[in-house]
Amino acid sequence: MIKSMTGYGRGEAEAPAQKWIVELRTLNHRFLDLSLNLPKHLWALEDRVRKLIKSRVLRGRVELQLSWETKPEHAPALKLDLALVEETLNMLRQLAAAAGLEEPLQLEHLLHFADFFISREREAPDLEETWLFLSQALHQALDILEEMRRTEGAALAAEMVAFAQEMGHLLDRIKAQAAGLPGQWRERVRTRLAEVLAETGGVDEARLAQELAFLAERRDIQEELTRLESHLGQFRHTLEVGDNSGPVGRKLEFLLQEMLREVHTIGAKANDLVIAQAVLEIKGFLERLREQAQNIE
C-alpha cells in the first residue's frame, strides 16, 4: 500500500485526573526523523513514545505535540511561601530607605515576585498509569494519521500510474521508430559512400556492410530500450501492489534515476528527430514523477 509522507492525526484519552491530547504532523524527509515535544516530567516515557511511532511510521519527519487538561479536583495546589514574602519585604524597605524613597509599599509591588507561589502536585504522577492513557491517545492519533497518509498515497499512486502509462505509449513510439532505423542508416551510408566512391563507378558492398555494422553498434538502442521497459514495469508494479520489504519511496526514486539514465542514452545514441521528441516528453514525465515520489513513504 502506497502511503504519503504528509498527514495529520489527533488522539484523546480520558484519565481519572487528566485528558491527554496527542497531535501528530508528518512531513517529507529522506529518513525517519522524530521531533517530540514532551514535558520534563514525562521524559522517562520518551523511549516508549519513539518505539510506538517507529512501529507505525517508517519514513518522514514526525512532529508530536502533547497537551493535557487537568480536572479541577486534581488541579495542582498553590501555597504561599510566607518566609520568602517577609524576607522580600525587609529587602524592599531597606532599598527604599537607601534610595530615600518615602512611597509606601503596595501589594502590586509584591506581585512581581512569582517565587512566592509554590505549585504542589496533590499526588505524584504514576508513569505507568500515565503511559496507559498516553499510549491510547497516541494509538488513536497514529490510526488517523495512517488513514490520511493512505488516502493521499492512493491518490498519488493513481496519478503516477497514469503518467507511467503515458510513458509506456511513448516507449512504444520509440520502439516502432527504432525498428526502421537500420534501413534509414543503410540508405544514408549508401548515399555517402556513393559520393565518396563515385570515381570508382559504384558502391563497394563490403565497405557498405562494414560501415553499417559500425553504425549499428554505435547507434543501437535495443539494450537501453529493454532496460527502460523493465524499469518502467517494476515502477508500475510497485505503485500498484506496493512492496512488503519496507518503504517504497526510495525504490521508486531509484527506478526513476535509472530510467532517466537510459532515456539520456537513447536520446544521445538514436540521433533521430521522432525519438528525440519522445525522449523530451518522457523526461518531462520523469521529472513530475520524481517530485511526486518524494512525497511517498
Question: For 278-288, what is each residue's pLDDT tens digit?
Answer: 999 999 999 99
pLDDT at position 138 over 70:
yes
Separation of alpha carbons 95 and 196, rounded Å: 110
Residues near 33 by beta carbon (within 8 Å), at least 6 away in sequence: 60, 61, 62
Phi-psi region of 271 (alpha: psi -120 to 50; beta: other; left: phi over 0): left
Q: Which residues pair with 27 in a beta bridge?
A: 61
pLDDT at position 214 over 80:
no
DSSP class of 111: T
Mind giving me the DSSP string for 177-213? Answer: HHHTHHHHHHHHHHHHHHHHTGGGTS--HHHHHHHHH
> What is residue 107's three-state secondary structure?
helix
Residues near 105 by beta carbon (within 8 Å), at least 6 away in sequence: 89, 92, 93, 96
Which amino acid appears at position 17 of this protein? A
Kindly tell me the sign of the dihedral angle through the C-alpha atoms of 97, 101, 103, 107. Answer: negative
Grid cell of 221 as nine digits: 538502442
Determine whether 82 is exposed, middle or buried from the number of CB atoms within 10 Å of its CB (0-12, 13-18, 19+): exposed
- 44-63 per-position pLDDT tens digit: 999 999 999 999 999 999 99
Separation of alpha carbons 20 and 30, rounded Å: 31
Grid cell of 28 as nine digits: 517529507
Instruction: Report pLDDT for 212.
Output: 62
Kindly tell me the sign of the dihedral angle through the C-alpha atoms of 177, 167, 169, 278. Answer: negative
Helix axes 127-179, 273-293, angle to 10 degrees: 180
Q: How far apart are the first and last CA of the chain?
A: 10
Pairing of strands 18-27, 117-120: unpaired
Cα 67 from chain centre = 26
Instruction: Report pLDDT for 52.
Output: 97
137 in Cβ contact with 12 (< 8 Å): yes
Q: What average pLDDT does range 142-156 have in this prediction? A: 96
Q: pLDDT-based confidence at 106, cuts 50/70/90?
A: confident
Least confident window among 103-117, 121-135, 241-255:
103-117
Most confident of 15-24, 106-115, 160-169: 160-169
- 230-272 per-position pLDDT tens digit: 999 999 999 988 766 678 999 999 999 999 999 999 998 888 8
Instruction: Report pLDDT for 208.
Output: 61
155 in Cβ contact with 259 (< 8 Å): no
23 in Cβ contact with 65 (< 8 Å): yes
pLDDT at position 203 over 60:
no
Pairing of strands 18-27, 60-70: antiparallel
Q: pLDDT-based confidence at 220, cuts 50/70/90?
A: confident
Q: Which residue has the higher pLDDT, 125 or 84?
A: 84
Please list, residue by residue across 171-203, b when 16 or more beta carbons sit within 10 angstroms of its beta carbon and e when fewer do. bebbbebbeebeeebbeebeeebeeeeeeeeeb
Average confidence score pLDDT of the chain: 85
65: nearest Cα among 45, 43, 39, 47: 39
Q: Which residue has the higher pLDDT, 103 or 26?
A: 26
